[in-house]
Structure 1
């Protein structure tokens, strides 16, 4: 028995598939299959029932897989404890964020890197569902997303842990040359007279669909993950956009007053938050914990070294 075999059976249990486990672990399907068969032969126990539909742990397998997961967690703790004696935190930190908070994350990483120069950091800009899937597949450690009640309910049982950072609200972004720019807020009736350009995110889509169901159909010019295309369309007064207020506050292009944000007069909006998500099925590394603690502290105290 070796650690690689334990990693493989845990991954197969998580994904329910030898094929997906091989993809996530970047090894061949035959390597996963042979490793599993070898471990089952050594233990004298069948760990999984295999079929065309996937791999399901047997009753005995569930017990052994749980212990394998605990062993892997303890090994990570030992590795981190050893780093304490060298007084050097090293490793990697893999992050992803929805577009709005990218500037905040970059500033936080810059400060973090000064104190921990041996940590390799990767950061990507993605949509909420892609971030959640990447966390489940162990492609990233922490994701920064828009959190809301229905998303958390829908994610129940998927092995994800959520934590709130900032409460926010949905606002409307308009060109400074738009007639709406001279107002502090906009009503649903006023908003429906304009075309929309939207970021392709689950919550934004849900919000606009709910808005249309309540107040009537809206004209969506386009939906995209390209934030430059959205801001250009709004800046040229071709359309308006809707998004989390925090996304606008920390976007550098607003410093040139190209866009103006307005409150949306929609009663009964459900609370939404900027928050972070991680896997609760994997060990929360000391690196990830240190970074999230720093990010939370910066937001709470509005530290000028971390906030743009």
Structure 2
């Protein structure tokens, strides 16, 4: 079994198409097909089911893929660790984050870190909550900033930086726009603008509403925090939004009102692999984050 065979196998498995994999690898399709055939012959099993030009993993192929992805991650980390051992300040950190932390929390933290370590490179991956957890668990990214922080995942370890409120964002002509605070139940009959099903911030709000005996009437959905804010500004509904997302970016034609009953909150922090040690440069950034957020008062509980 050769590393090249494994790399070709993983690429074909991800794309479920030999030609697409070959194009991405910048090699001839025949070379990819030959290496896959040789690998299957050596293992004595079929890793793929052929369906015309497409391929799908067999059950044993899926098991093999999981092990090979772990093996490749170990090899890549070994190469990175040797390089970073010589100079942690020259390494690369792969960090994931959701859109709700993209405008303030993530840029502020990275800016502060680069003041100390200007030569460290970052590979940034914006994604949905559960997808980021999966990427950290599989080793495709080194860590992820998340809110809320998952504390009971088997493959990732969570650390909390701070807890923040979710506040109501309303159009400026809303009937409650002049209030200094409001109860969530006062929005029972409003149209809500939320993330789609499967997004954690939607789950947080729906759960809070359920405790009050109602389900939010969702009129629009958006996968990006700025899109949701824009729809509220256009007068199309209301939403609850993490306070950190509006530090420097409150849309015109909207008002922000604290929700005091019930107080809806989320934790914000970082997740790292539970069973895999951080490399030197990753470790530098992780401990920087823990110190950074403990020292900055604007992130602490009131």
TM-score, scaled relative to structure 1:
0.68
What residue is the counterpart of 1:83 in the other structure?
87
Are the counterparts in 2 of residues 198 and 222 from structure 1 also a CA contact under 8 Å?
yes
Q: Deviations over 1:120-176 (max 9, x none)?
A: 323343321232344345443322111256xx54x43xx323222212333322234
Match of 2:141 in 1: 140
Q: How many residues matched?
A: 280
Look up the SS of the partner of 2:158 in the other structure: strand
Aligned residue for 1:182, secondary structure, equals coil
Which residue of the partner structure matches residue 19 of structure 1? 13
Q: Do the aligned partners of 2:192 and 2:239 also contact (CA within 8 Å) in 1?
A: yes
Listed as ranges, the matches of 1:1-308 within 5 Å are 19-20=13-14, 27=25, 34=35, 54=58, 56=60, 74-83=78-87, 89-102=89-102, 103-136=104-137, 138-147=139-148, 152-153=151-152, 155-156=153-154, 159-200=155-196, 202-214=199-211, 215-248=213-246, 250=247, 252-254=248-250, 258-266=254-262, 272-280=266-274, 282-302=276-296
* Residue 302 of structure 1, CA deviation: 0.7
In the aligned structure 2, how far is the partner of 1:48 from the partner of 1:265? Answer: 60
Question: What 5-or-longer segments of structure 1 have no aligned partner?
Answer: none
Q: CA deviation at 1:241?
A: 0.8
TM-score by length of 2: 0.69
Q: Is the 8 A contact 1:76 1:283 kept in 2?
A: no
Separation in structure 1 between the aligned mates of residue 143 and residue 81 of structure 2, nearest angstrom: 18
Cα 1:208–1:140 change in 2 (3 A) is: same
What's the offset of the Cα at 1:286? Answer: 2.0
1:81–1:177 Cα change, 3 Å: same
CA distance in 1, matches of 2:189, 2:283: 47
